[in-house]
Amino acid sequence: MLLLPFTQHKHFSLDRAKVSIGLISIRLSIGQGIVVGQAIEGIARQSEVESKIRRTLLLSLAFMEALTIYGLVIALQRIICYVQEG
C-alpha cells in the first residue's frame, strides 16, 4: 500500500485531514453551483444549443466529482494511517 509521508506531529496531520475533507466539500458545492448557474443562464439565452450545454455541464460535473473523490481518498488515507499507528 502506498502511503504518503506525514509530518512529525501525528495529531496535526489528523487535524489537517479533517479540515481538508470539509474544505473539499465546501469548494465542490460552490464550484458546482457556479457551473450549474452558468449553464442555466446559457440555456436561457440560447435554447437551441441546450443539448450541447447539457453535455458539457454533465462532463464538467463528472470531473469535479472525480477530483473531490480523489481528495477524499487522500484525506481518508491519512486518517486510517493515524488510527492504525495508534
What was the pLDDT predicted at 43?
94
Number of structural domains (the chain) is 1
Residue 6 lies in a domain: no
Closest CA to 33 of 61, 69, 53, 52: 61
Closest CA to 65 of 22, 18, 41, 29: 29
The parent domain of residue 49 ranges over 17-85
Residue 44 lies in a domain: yes
Residue 40 lies in a domain: yes
Residue 25 lies in a domain: yes
Residue 30 lies in a domain: yes
75 neighbors 24 (Cβ within 8 angstroms): yes
Average model confidence (pLDDT) for the chain? 84
pLDDT in tens, 48-84: 999 999 999 999 999 999 988 888 888 888 888 877 7
Q: What is the CATH number of the domain that holds 25?
A: 1.20.20.10
What was the pLDDT predicted at 1?
45
Residue 9 lies in a domain: no
pTM of the entire structure? 0.70
